Amino acid sequence: MIRFENVTKIFSRGTIPAVSNLNIEIPEGTICCMVGPSGCGKTTSMKMVNRLHSITEGKIYIDEVDNSTIDPISLRLDIGYVIQEIGLFPHMTIADNVATVLVEKKWPKQEIGKRVDELLELMGLEPKIYRQRRPSHLSGGQRQRVGVARAMAANPPIMLMDEPFGAVDHIARVRLQNEFLTLQEKISKTIIFVTHDIDEAIKMGDMIAVMREGKLVQYSTPEDLLSTPADEFVANLVGGNRSIKRLHLIRVSEILNRKVATVNMSDTLEAAKKHVIENAFNVVYVVSDTGVLNGFIGKVELKQEGEFVKDVYRSYPEIISDEATLSDALSVMLSNGESYVPVVDDFEHPLGAVSLEDVFKAVRQDD
């Protein structure tokens, strides 16, 4: 847990405080997004937690310990730190970069190697390939992953992330965000996540702290922020399309209640026909022997020549996982040109489907 108590930061005497009288409590295992325009004090607030900036007035408590009583070096070694520019060390291999804090903490060599491989695997970077590479040989997204792996190396309970996915393109950013949220479910870190992008804050944050000119304007859950913005500033920040933003908040798994029957590749079309007629979208899923979703058969496919499912089935251009948001679901529907979208689990086994109607209902309910 991190608690800001009446925290004020003044950079030089007589000037306006960069942060004034900030009070926030960030519960253990949650992500707090600090959001606001540049110069609002969000990064300054974050940097006072690991004492990169000193506190002018007030206290920051980490697990009830006043952080000004902890030696800054050992404080920082126990707090993960990720910045937008990542700041990988260009003269070190990926493995050495990730091991930075472990070396400082004097871990035995063997354990460092094991931990580094574990982290690279966790971030989806095959250790055998990437261990000995240099940062200059990685793509932007891969560097961000290494940056996060490096910050998590010593398994710190707290992480400070300053626009950690800011330096990559939109598609890579969405992927990194989703991966990180899935990861967070496993690791449950207490995280301060600084961003200027309100959409990112709504997606990533368990709580959102909106700041302006050094002051906290609103501290609430993303849902409350969208439904009851504290003032005009927050309302403007959140923007006009609040129902659309709410789509980012709801996960497919929360509203998934439609089952779709499945047939095997070797089944006859006759068997498939029965399911197609019964199904609300007039489809039946086609799965492989291992249960992986291969495609579907609808009314159009039934009319085609062939005796077996494998002769006529069509595969989906895109499918989504149950971790995806409703906004993801909606965009896949648009690109597939169907009024529903197939939902699969991590092994691509079909879980069911979400329809346009389901999406509407979920947003309306939220109102």
Which residues are near other proteins by CB under 8 A?
47, 50, 52, 73-79, 81, 83, 85-91, 100-101, 104, 134, 136, 147, 150-151, 160
Least distance to other proteins, CB of residue 78, Å: 8
Q: Report which of 150, 140, 59 is spatially closest to residue 103, judged by C-alpha positions.
A: 150
Least distance to other proteins, CB of residue 25, Å: 23
Question: Which helix (DSSP H) or strand (DSSP E) does residue 47 occupy?
Answer: helix 42-49
Least distance to other proteins, CB of residue 202, Å: 26
CB atoms within 10 A of CB 364: 9
- β partners of residue 158: 79, 190
How is residue 19 written in tokens? 């942060």
Q: Which is nearer to other proteins, 162 or 358 (CB)?
A: 162
Q: What is the CA radius of gyration of the chain?
A: 24
Least distance to other proteins, CB of residue 137, Å: 8
Q: Report which of 219, 216, 149, 225 is spatially closest to residue 187, judged by C-alpha positions.
A: 149
Q: Which is nearer to other proteins, 46 or 249 (CB)?
A: 46
Contact 256, 325 (CB under 8 A): no
Q: Which is nearer to other proteins, 47 or 275 (CB)?
A: 47
Beta strand 283-287 pairing with 293-298: antiparallel
| Class of residue 34 by CB neighbours under 10 A (exposed 0-12, middle 13-18, buried 19+) | buried
Least distance to other proteins, CB of residue 136, Å: 6
Least distance to other proteins, CB of residue 144, Å: 13
Q: Which is nearer to other proteins, 50 or 325 (CB)?
A: 50
Least distance to other proteins, CB of residue 49, Å: 10
Q: Which is nearer to other proteins, 94 or 217 (CB)?
A: 94
Least distance to other proteins, CB of residue 138, Å: 12
Q: Which is nearer to other proteins, 125 or 151 (CB)?
A: 151
Contact 193, 205 (CB under 8 A): yes
Contact 256, 355 (CB under 8 A): no
Q: Which is nearer to other proteins, 85 or 318 (CB)?
A: 85
CA distance 327 to 48: 35
How is residue 88 written in tokens? 């990988």
Least distance to other proteins, CB of residue 44, Å: 14
CA distance 136 to 6: 43
Q: Which is nearer to other proteins, 90 or 337 (CB)?
A: 90
Q: Report which of 182, 214, 212, 220 is spatially closest to residue 32, judged by C-alpha positions.
A: 220
What end-to-end distance do the CA atoms of the chain give, in Å? 32
Q: How many Cα atoms occupy the beta-carbon half-sphere of 348 within 13 Å?
A: 13
Least distance to other proteins, CB of residue 286, Å: 49
Q: Which is nearer to other proteins, 147 or 205 (CB)?
A: 147
Contact 15, 44 (CB under 8 A): no
Q: Which is nearer to other proteins, 84 or 262 (CB)?
A: 84
CA distance 228 to 224: 5
DSSP at 202: H
Q: Report which of 151, 143, 142 is spatially closest to residue 101, judged by C-alpha positions.
A: 151
